[in-house]
Amino acid sequence: MAIDRTFQFGEDHLTASIALGMAHGSIKGILTDECLQHVNASHQRVQRIVEKGDTVYGINTGFGPLCSTRISKEDTKILQSNILKSHSVGVGDPISTELAKIMLILKIHALAKGFSGIAETTLQRMLWHLENDAIPVVPSQGSVGASGDLAPLSHLFLPLIGLGKVAYNGKIIPTEELFQKTGLQPLELGPKEGLALINGTQFIAAHGVMVVHKLQYCLRHADIIGAMMLEGLQGSMKPFFEELHQLRPFKGNQHVAGRIRTLLQGSEILEDHIDCERVQDPYSLRCMPQVHGASRNAWLHLKELLEIELNSVTDNPVIINDELTISGGNFHGQPLAMALDYAALAASEIGNISDRRIYLALEGNSPGVPKLLMNDTGINSGYMILQYTSAALASENKSLCFPASADSIPTSLGQEDHVSMGSISGRKALNIIENVEKILAIELLTSAQAFEYRKPLKSGVLLDEIHTFLRTKVAFAENDRVFADDIEKGIEIIQNREIIDLVDRVMDEKQLKWNAPHLDEFETY
């Protein structure tokens, strides 16, 4: 992938999209001379603390409950490598290489701010791993999100001292083998360096990056697919009128209502039933702005908090200047843990209301749309059982919505007596979003099937283009078939964001614009 721009670690403002750009290779992260001056100055401050013999946590003391155990000047280097070894206690399947790479990016940025005492050689080696795509293997379980993500970060940086494993050239290999291939040697960590490496919230924050990224696409899909279902079931347009949402001006509600108005602009289907006798639609149709909008607001909250975290110093102790070193709590994961639990609930609700629309489509209560979305039922079950799958996924998501941040189990012999469990919040949120993608794929299939029965009437240009595209992938169903194959194609369309790309392309070609307030806030991250 061609490099579009550079990002200055420790100096530029990091966002989720920039982190993803670096992980995917379109943005190159660099360490400037000015950045390295700050890094080296902080490193020298640590060296002076060691020479003076002042007692400073993590530099010449043990860790956690051993904070009062004094470490000799001679043993401070051994202490730093030992902390990586002893804290590498992660279990479970490894996180994706993409997530581990994002962790590495976030940690380089935090250390490059010059408040952590890290050595330039250590930071340069971390950058080497990123640039050469030698990404450490990080187990998914073991962090309580208290002193940050101790176990995952320890595994992330074991390769610095020649231990652990890395993903390299498509294979998982021991670091020793990587060193043989590249000629690298293990680093000798100096005072404070091991602690600086493993204190921090980069496991939680990396999951936050992926949640912001993937949930935003789920939200965009939900509006598009919900609009298609509204057309298929001949729902009313009035609940999306701007005048209504000016009276309850939540940003998310206004944005969703505006998006759906744009998607339905010029629809013959709407005109065909504008004077029908139905007074109200079920909530899953008419309350899309309120439900999708509430999830949008939750997404916006996470995005704003995550951006603060991505540009923060979260290790401990923090080296402020020559006179001031603070052992505080910037590593505590609570700010993101709670927001990720909120985002998990927001994602689950998108799947929940989508399942209700799927069920609604099967009832046969909309004129012209047959029960179970198929004319010849009895011998055919139609789309009945697809809703079983969406119901199962929606139920699984509800069970995953218990907030991990509501729990705390004291660790470190009581020194860490309140923990965030934010790593679990992040992992659960991603699991929920993956289930929502599948539910939305099923709604895409069922909404397209209902939409078909409105022909020869046309919808707006955007939804008609989407329906035409979908029919190149999944045929209209006149009889039962192995619907799992259709679902897999639907999931692929959702995960590849094909209909979102199609909408963007058609809008450019037709010179259309979203009639949706707060566009920049909800479409950028």
- Report yes or no: 464 and 451 within 8 Å, Cβ to Cβ: no
Which residue type is seen at 491?
I
Top-confidence residue, 74 or 360 = 360
pLDDT of residue 119: 97
pLDDT band at 58 (very low <50, low <70, confident <90, very high): low
pLDDT beyond 80 at 278: no
Domain assignment present for 266: yes
Does 214 lie in the same domain as 353? yes
Q: By CB neighbour count within 10 A (0-12 exposed, 13-18 middle, 19+ buried), where does 133 fall?
A: middle
pLDDT beyond 70 at 450: yes
- 3-class secondary structure, 524: coil
Domain assignment present for 247: yes
Among residues 57, 168, 342, 453, the one annotated as catalytic is 57
pLDDT of residue 414: 80
* Bridge partners (DSSP) listed for residue 326: 318
In the block, tokens 């102790």 appear at: 317
| Crossing angle (nearest 10°) for helices 483-495 and 422-452 | 120
With left for phi above 0 and alpha for psi between -120 and 50, is residue 426 left, alpha or beta? alpha
Measured CA to CA, the distance from residue 464 to residue 267 in angstroms comes to 9
- Report yes or no: 137 and 119 within 8 Å, Cβ to Cβ: no
pLDDT beyond 90 at 70: no
Cα–Cα distances in Å, from 422 out to 204, 206, 345, 398, 428?
A: 6, 11, 15, 18, 10
pLDDT of residue 41: 97
Measured CA to CA, the distance from residue 166 to residue 175 in angstroms comes to 6
pLDDT of residue 67: 59
Instruction: Read off the DSSP letter of residue 373.
Output: G
Measured CA to CA, the distance from residue 301 to residue 19 in angstroms comes to 19
Which residue type is seen at 31?
L
Does 160 lie in the same domain as 88? yes
388 belongs to the catalytic site: no
Pairing of strands 27-30, 135-136: unpaired
- 3-class secondary structure, 168: strand
Number of domains comprising the chain: 2
Does 158 lie in the same domain as 276? no
pLDDT of residue 76: 75
Residue 11 C-beta-side C-alpha neighbours within 13 Å: 14
pLDDT of residue 276: 61
Cα–Cα distances in Å, from 447 out to 279, 341, 350, 450, 481?
A: 22, 30, 16, 5, 18
Measured CA to CA, the distance from residue 297 to residue 250 in angstroms comes to 8
Q: Give mean pLDDT, residues 84-112.
A: 98
* Bridge partners (DSSP) listed for residue 6: 28
pLDDT beyond 70 at 289: yes
- Condensed to tens digits (0 to 9), the pLDDT of residues 169-220 reads 999 999 999 999 999 999 999 989 999 999 999 999 999 999 999 999 999 9
Given 178, 199, 220, the domain boundary residue is: 199
Q: What is the 3-state secondary structure (H, E, C) of 368-430?
A: CCCHHHCCCCCCCCCCHHHHHHHHHHHHHHHHHCCCHHHCCCCEHHHCECCCCCHHHHHHHHH
Given 164, 199, 234, the domain boundary residue is: 199
Q: By C-alpha distance, which of 400, 395, 369, 393 is closest to 383?
A: 369
| Average pLDDT of the chain, as a whole number | 95
State the virtual CA torsion across 466, 470, 472, 474 in degrees, nearest 10.
-170
pLDDT of residue 59: 75
- Report yes or no: 372 and 364 within 8 Å, Cβ to Cβ: yes
Which residue type is seen at 280?
Q
Which pair of structure tokens corresponds to residue 406?
């509501």
pLDDT of residue 63: 63
Which pair of structure tokens corresponds to residue 133?
């795509």
Domain assignment present for 472: yes
Measured CA to CA, the distance from residue 369 to residue 1 in angstroms comes to 46
Domain assignment present for 414: no
Measured CA to CA, the distance from residue 196 to residue 95 in angstroms comes to 22
Does 217 lie in the same domain as 90? no
- 3-class secondary structure, 130: helix
Q: Give mean pLDDT, residues 100-109.
A: 98
- Report yes or no: 314 and 148 within 8 Å, Cβ to Cβ: yes
Does 195 lie in the same domain as 214? no
Backbone angles phi, psi at 447, to 5 degrees: -65, -40
- Report yes or no: 153 and 205 within 8 Å, Cβ to Cβ: no
Does 156 lie in the same domain as 20? yes
Measured CA to CA, the distance from residue 110 to residue 200 in angstroms comes to 9
pLDDT beyond 70 at 482: yes
In the block, tokens 């990587």 appear at: 178
Residue 225 C-beta-side C-alpha neighbours within 13 Å: 37
- Condensed to tens digits (0 to 9), the pLDDT of residues 183-192 reads 999 999 998 9
pLDDT of residue 275: 64
- Condensed to tens digits (0 to 9), the pLDDT of residues 361-414 reads 999 999 999 999 999 999 999 999 999 999 999 999 999 999 999 999 999 888
Given 199, 228, 259, the domain boundary residue is: 199
pLDDT beyond 80 at 1: no
Does 93 lie in the same domain as 120? yes
Domain assignment present for 256: yes
Does 427 lie in the same domain as 328? yes
In this structure, the number of other CB atoms found within 10 A of the CB of residue 359 comes to 15
| CATH number of the domain bearing residue 174 | 1.10.275.10
Domain residues for the domain of 259 are: 208-408+419-523
- Report yes or no: 132 and 105 within 8 Å, Cβ to Cβ: no
Backbone angles phi, psi at 8, to 5 degrees: -90, 105
pLDDT of residue 198: 96
Does 360 lie in the same domain as 437? yes
Top-confidence residue, 225 or 1 = 225
- Report yes or no: 189 and 81 within 8 Å, Cβ to Cβ: yes
pLDDT of residue 214: 98
Q: Give mean pLDDT, residues 118-131.
A: 98
Which pair of structure tokens corresponds to residue 173?
């290999």
Domain assignment present for 156: yes
Does 137 lie in the same domain as 213? no
In the block, tokens 């999951």 appear at: 207
Does 368 lie in the same domain as 243? yes
Q: By C-alpha distance, which of 214, 198, 89, 98 is closest to 500?
A: 214
| CATH number of the domain bearing residue 345 | 1.20.200.10
Domain assignment present for 213: yes
Which residue type is seen at 135?
I
Does 163 lie in the same domain as 47? yes
Q: By C-alpha distance, which of 346, 357, 363, 366 is closest to 225?
A: 357
pLDDT beyond 70 at 301: yes
Domain assignment present for 1: no
